[in-house]
Amino acid sequence: MTHTLHRIGNPDNLRRDIVFTYMPSNNINHVGSAPIIRKFLEMCRDLGAIKIGDTRKGNEYVQGSLENMLNNIEDRAVVEAVFDDEKKATTALKALKEADLGLSLVVSGLFEQTQQCCKKAGLKMHTINQSLGIWGHTEKLPNGAVLELNTMCGHGMVAVSLIEHAIEKVKKGKWTPEKAAENLFKCCVCGIVNITRAAEIFRTLSQKEEENG
C-alpha cells in the first residue's frame, strides 16, 4: 500500500509519524476477516494509536462515530492506525505478533526506526517500499509546511486551500492548532492524518508569524 508512503517531512517530525496498514488478501483469507480487522483496530486504539480509520467505508467522521466505524467493518476492509510515539508503536507490534491474527500488516515510517520497532517486537522486515520523491514540475507544489500537511493524506483529500485556510485561522487565534489538525483529519477518508504532528506544524507556523510581528 503506497498511500502512506509519500509523507513529506524532516527526520525529527517524521519520527513521530508511524502508520500501520492492515488488510486481508482478496480471495485468499478475506472471507470472515471483519472480526479480525476490528480486533486489530481495537488493539491499536487501546495501545496508543492517536487515530484509526477504514479506507473502504471512511473514518469516524464519515461514518458518524468511532463506534459506527468499528461496527461497519467489512471482510475486504483496509484499515489504518496512526501512532505518534515509537514506544507505543513497538508495544502494539509486540501485542499484534503475540495475537497472531493472521492478516497482512504494513508499517510506514523512517527506515531505521521501522527496523528497530520490528526488531524490538521480534519481527523481521521482508519487504521494503521506498518513495523516490516527487518528479516533474515541482515548482508548482506548495511550500514545505503546506506540503507536509497535504501529504499526510495519501489520496489527496486534504486540499491545499483548506490547509491555507486553517493556517490563517490559527495565526489569527480563531482556531487552536489542535482544532486545525482535527479539521484536516475529517477530510482524510482513510484516517491517516497525524493530528499530533499536524498540530505541531500549525503551532510552529503561528509562532513564526508572531515573531515576525
Number of domains in the chain: 2
Give the residue from 58, 71, 1, 7 showing the smallest Cα distance to 186.
58
CB contact at 8 A, 69 and 60: yes
Residue 96 in any domain: the answer is yes
Residue 132 in any domain: the answer is no
Longest CA pairwise span in the chain (Å): 60
Residue 156 in any domain: the answer is yes
**Contacts for 73 with CB less than 8 Å, ≥ 6 apart:** 34, 37, 38, 41, 54, 57, 79
Question: Which amino acid is it at 136?
Answer: G
Higher per-residue pLDDT: 181 or 124: 181
Of the ranges 2-6, 99-103, 142-146, which one carries the lowest mean pLDDT score? 2-6
pLDDT tens for 53-78 read: 999 999 999 999 999 999 999 999 99
Q: What is the value of pTM for the model shown?
A: 0.94
- The CATH number of the domain holding residue 86 is 3.30.70
105 and 16 share a domain?
yes
- DSSP assigned state of 81: E
In angstroms and rounded to an integer, the radius of gyration of the C-alpha atoms of the chain is 17
21 and 116 share a domain?
yes
The DSSP bridge pattern shows strands 18-23 and 104-108 to be antiparallel
pLDDT at residue 210 tops 70: no
pLDDT tens for 8-29 read: 999 999 999 999 999 999 888 9
pLDDT tens for 113-126 read: 999 999 999 998 88
Q: What range defines the domain where residue 192 resides?
A: 138-212
Helices (H), 20-72: 34-46, 66-71
72 and 31 share a domain?
yes
Three-state secondary structure call for residue 132: coil
148 and 191 share a domain?
yes
pLDDT tens for 147-161 read: 999 999 999 999 999
Q: What's the grid cell of residue 88?
A: 507505543
CA distances to 11, 19, 67, 112, 172 from 64, in Å: 35, 23, 8, 37, 30
Residue 128 in any domain: the answer is no
**Final residue of a domain: which of 85, 120, 155?**
120
Burial 36-48 (b: 16+ CB within 10 A, else e): bbbbbbebbbebe
Residue 177 in any domain: the answer is yes
Three-state secondary structure call for residue 53: strand
Torsional class of 32: left (φ above 0), alpha (ψ -120 to 50), beta (otherwise): left
Question: Which amino acid is it at 66?
Answer: L
20 and 66 share a domain?
yes
Residue 17 in any domain: the answer is yes
15 and 101 share a domain?
yes
**Final residue of a domain: which of 120, 152, 167?**
120
113 and 41 share a domain?
yes
189 and 109 share a domain?
no
